Amino acid sequence: MRYGVCTWIFGDQPLAETAARLAALGYDGVELMGDLTRYKASEVNAALSAQGLSVLSLTPENVDLAHPDEAVRQEALDYYFRLLDLASAVSSPIVCCHGAVGRIRAITSYDEERRVFVEGVRRIAERAQAANLRIALEVLNRYEAHLLNTALEAQRFVRDVGMENVGLLLDAYHMNIEEADVRSTILAARERLFLFHAADSNRRAVGRGHTDFRGILHTLHDIGYDGSIVVECSASGPDPFTPVKGIGWRAEVWKYVAESLPSLRLHETLTSGKDD
């Protein structure tokens, strides 16, 4: 198992500084925020290679592939095409994709917006396939997005897209809200699980909430999951759409990041029988 951290949770902290601290903690890589105005491939590669880290995945900026306005959708598609170029340049095998974060209801109708979302993801996947990249659809909770709130919805969506390089990104925090049985959800998604995000039930460090991470790691082991686990904690406080929460927020995030890795590795060790 490889472990990484989403870079967006650190706000505007320089990537070189983030990479150095993550390497010192023992992480393997990052999920890079897809800010195309901020990151150049050469700078990303230099910052990470200096610390022996990899780009495990890229997460997109908040664009809207399901918007009823064709111009808005085209802008989102153009962004994803450029994000795929960045992914290739930084040797990231996975580009994440999700509905518009913060939009919790349809502007026209759910069915129509889902239809154009399928079309958009298919076009992205076709471009990604040519570059030997995979697309991981992130399943977000109902309070953050109106499309793909459960793994079952996302699996049906993947079937409708009809591309082998499209799979799922499951997130322990979102599953804690939406799924009745997290372990069964992971089992059902086993064939198309490309990526996994880790934060506890309160979106803090692994071990600071009530999520059964021992059970999660056990299930991931049982299905033979060999992808990455990416930590995505945030500081305490309101507004899930920004990392900045007030005085001391970044120190709090780093505390959670430091706590999460040994907890995850301990659960992995115990569930894989390495300590027998």
Would you please indicate which residues are annotated as catalytic (active-site) residues?
A: 138, 232
Residue with tokens 């990416």: 230
**Cβ atoms within 10 Å, residue 95:** 25
C-alpha separations of 181 from 146, 150, 223 in Å: 21, 11, 16
How far apart CA 33 and CA 46 sit, in angstroms, is: 16
Read out DSSP for 41-66?
Answer: HHHHHHHHHTTT-EEEEEE--S--TT
The burial of 98, by beta-carbon neighbours within 10 Å (0-12 exposed, 13-18 middle, 19 or more buried), is given as buried
Following CA atoms 133, 96, 139, 5 in sequence, which dihedral angle do they give, to the nearest 10 degrees? 120
C-alpha separations of 227 from 4, 191, 223 in Å: 11, 12, 11
At a CB cut-off of 8 Å and minimum separation 6, what does 158 contact? 137, 166, 167, 168, 192
Q: Which two tokens stand for residue 268?
A: 């992995």
C-alpha separations of 221 from 4, 214, 217, 270 in Å: 18, 11, 6, 11
For 259, list phi and psi in degrees, rounded to 5. -75, -35
How far apart CA 58 and CA 55 sit, in angstroms, is: 7
